[in-house]
Structure 1
Amino acid sequence: MTNSVLLALNPIAFNLGPIQVHWYGIIIATGVILAVALAVAEGNRQGIKDDDIYDMILWALPAALICARAYYVIFQWSYYSANPGEIIKIWDGGIAIYGSLIGAMIVVILFCRNRHIPVWKMLDVAAPTVIMAQAIGRWGNFMNQEAFGKVTSLHFLQGLHLPNFIINQMYISGAYRQPTFLYESVWSFLGFLLLISLRHNPQLFKRGEVFLTYVMWYSFGRFFVEGMRTDSLYWGPLRVSQILSICLFVGSLIIFIVRRHRNNDVWYVDDNSKQKIKGEV
């Protein structure tokens, strides 16, 4: 344990008087800021006003944070019921990505209906930026030494050609651990590159399919990464995130196939393109 403490990076970035600013929060905030900037840029291409995106974020972020924490607390209720004062301490980690996605999704749907913005259009705009933020956010878990996997060896980690600062940070509770945070971060970043590279290709995606592809991509990778983690949330003997990953992947695939065979969906292209097919957005 002593070696773990000596080698670990300090999760506190700096102090503002009595207030400790955690790397976890800085990294999450960085991901959100970049995601908003990219969403605004893509929103302009799709005819969505900047103010609509900013207003939506003002509602979606608090909902995502509350639901992310609530999701985690619910499945760890045996601990938090005995320690209610710990519920608000999100700076120590313990927020669930799936919870945040559920909360944000509800807000996006309600917001778009209120502003008369096509929901699928907004989801397509947001999807690549969200998975990019997820890729960045996992490094907050890295700084907190959480979201790690089973015990492994120094030789294995060195065989992955990881820099020493990652290897050292993976020495937790007296043993080296699988860097599952890194596996998910890389998978998410690859998904981000895939989506932004392909989404503007003519007649590749129909409206809504960028979002559905994001859901399938993330849930597929998360299923396998979750199986390697040692801090999973459980529902009985089952890992909650694996159950949800299967449901999301299958559900998105079915919706993708059904909508693909409909004749009234436009292709995912910007509003100025002449290759748009007449239909519903």
Structure 2
Amino acid sequence: MPLASIPSPSQGVWHLFGVVPLRAYALCIVLGVIVAVVIGERRWRARGGEPGTIVDLAVWAVPFGLVGGRLYHVITDWQLYFGPNAPNEPIEALYVWNGGLGIWGAVALGALGVWFGCRNRGISLSAVADTIAPGIVIAQAIGRWGNYFNQELFGRPTDLPWGLEIDPDRPGTVPGVDTYHPTFLYESLWDLALGLALIWIGRKFALRHGRVFALYLAGYTVGRFWIEGLRVDTAHHILGLRLNQWTSIVVFIGAMIYFWYARNKTNDEPVGATPEPTLGSPDIEGSAADPAHPSDQADTPEDGEGTARDEGPETIASAPGAANSVDPAHPSDQADEPGPADEDAGTHDVLANEPEGTPQSVVVTEPAEDDAPAKESTVPAKDGALQEDVTADAVSGGEKERR
């Protein structure tokens, strides 16, 4: 007997009011599901998904996962329930509460249930898979404690201080040996560390398109491979390895292939959330430009107002309400329509359609005030040269004259 060891619980079932059985194995499974849903919901909302989506998908995933997990266990360990020397009755294959849920079957059929739910809601399966992957593996870490209460799936004999005490009447025990490797604890700690690592990796590298889920499968199989090698419970062996070890190898390879394959995926992953339209958005019919930014509004002349025509090298005097002439090859030269402030300030004469390379200047004629003579000023062209002054005749009757 080692100096230190982990004692096993004396019982794994309690009866409420002496009638209703409360099984530790089932409680661990339920608690794991709750934790997985909570983590998944938080991550889904952070991704922009609609709240409550993961809860709805769990309605599909949990029953599918339980059936798949039990089917995998019964199929791979059929000798425990069928045959002349089976230690259990065939009906006990349905007794899920006695333990025996294969994670591979649970993940496979659980994923099928999630696929049905995603299809009904029109959301991306890969986005959901990446979201729930950390929660799933943390749920596995919690669920493994059900094996502790059932005193099952322990490892080889050991004298280590953390050796697990197992009752001598349990299947797989060795006569005269009291402590064994606590494989449930090894896997629980591995799963918890993997779940936290997936959360960090997903945030650090912004992995999408099912790549976080692929890392979950690969990471879990690595730990499961060496932990499975410590176990002494009955299992099928192929070429010296347990069946679950071969399954781990196949799943690991498949996960890595998918992780590499999805590295260049860029297609959208709908999460079912519709962003609310904002003011000025083209999605809103009849939306106007932001009043605080009048420059965002297009300067479109009213129908029937002055339209510049190409009539050769002419000087066009712009009158209030008329559109300025614009060279189509230089749309940036277009001026905004004159407003009331421009009418008060006076009339701006603009040279239009001058031959290329000829500097331009603009003469601004300001209206006379109190019978004083009108003042004219010459504005130099962009190259700094001055051109012969061009004067505009007086504006009469709201019409503009061309010279």
* TM-score normalised per structure 2: 0.58
**Do residues 210 (structure 1) and 217 (structure 2) align?**
no
In 2, Cα distance between the equivalents of 1:18 and 1:263?
Answer: 55
Q: Which deviates the most, 48-57 or 186-195?
A: 48-57
* 8 A contact 2:130–2:209 mirrored in 1: yes
In 2, Cα distance between the equivalents of 1:97 and 1:200?
Answer: 26
Tell me which residue corresponds to 2:229: 227
The one-letter code sitting in structure 2 at the alignment partner of 1:103 is L
**Do residues 259 (structure 1) and 262 (structure 2) align?**
yes
Tell me which residue corresponds to 1:114: 120
Following TM superposition, by how much is the alpha carbon of 1:239 offset from its aligned partner in structure 2, in angstroms? 1.9
Match of 2:185 among 174, 182, 202: 182
Q: Which deviates the most, 219-228 or 39-48?
A: 39-48
* 8 A contact 1:207–1:266 mirrored in 2: no
The one-letter code sitting in structure 2 at the alignment partner of 1:69 is R
Q: Structure 1 residues 16, 199: closer, same or farther in 2, change over 3 A? A: farther
* 8 A contact 2:69–2:105 mirrored in 1: yes
In 1, Cα distance between the equivalents of 2:167 and 2:180?
Answer: 5
The SS at the match of 1:87 is helix
- What whole-Å deviation, never above 9, does each CA across 1:127-150 have from its counterpart, x for those lacking one? 000000001111111111111111
Tell me which residue corresponds to 1:135: 141
Q: Which deviates the most, 45-54 or 228-237?
A: 228-237
Following TM superposition, by how much is the alpha carbon of 1:16 offset from its aligned partner in structure 2, in angstroms? 4.2
Unpaired runs of 5+ residues, structure 2, are: 1-6, 84-88, 274-403
Tell me which residue corresponds to 2:203: 200
Following TM superposition, by how much is the alpha carbon of 1:228 offset from its aligned partner in structure 2, in angstroms? 1.0
* 8 A contact 2:44–2:50 mirrored in 1: yes
Match of 2:91 among 72, 81, 85: 85
- Write 1 or 2 for the structure with the bigger share of helix: 1
1:3-22 aligned at under 5 Å gives the runs 8-22=9-23
Q: Structure 1 residues 40, 130: closer, same or farther in 2, change over 3 A? A: same
* 8 A contact 1:9–1:169 mirrored in 2: no
* Percent identical: 34
* 8 A contact 1:233–1:239 mirrored in 2: yes
* 8 A contact 2:8–2:151 mirrored in 1: no
Tell me which residue corresponds to 2:65: 64
Q: Structure 1 residues 168, 263: closer, same or farther in 2, change over 3 A? A: closer
* 8 A contact 2:130–2:208 mirrored in 1: no
Q: Which deviates the most, 190-199 or 180-189?
A: 190-199
The one-letter code sitting in structure 2 at the alignment partner of 1:200 is R
Match of 1:244 among 217, 242, 247: 247
In 2, Cα distance between the equivalents of 1:102 and 1:94?
Answer: 16
* 8 A contact 1:232–1:240 mirrored in 2: no
* Runs of 4+ more than 6 Å apart: none
Following TM superposition, by how much is the alpha carbon of 1:265 offset from its aligned partner in structure 2, in angstroms? 5.1
The SS at the match of 1:21 is strand
* 8 A contact 1:64–1:103 mirrored in 2: yes
The one-letter code sitting in structure 2 at the alignment partner of 1:15 is L
The SS at the match of 1:20 is strand
The one-letter code sitting in structure 1 at the alignment partner of 2:184 is F
Tell me which residue corresponds to 1:97: 103
- RCO (CA 8 Å, sep 6+): is it higher in 1 or 2? 1
The one-letter code sitting in structure 1 at the alignment partner of 2:145 is W
Unpaired runs of 5+ residues, structure 1, are: 1-5, 272-281
In 1, Cα distance between the equivalents of 2:13 and 2:143?
Answer: 16
Q: Structure 1 residues 206, 52: closer, same or farther in 2, change over 3 A? A: closer
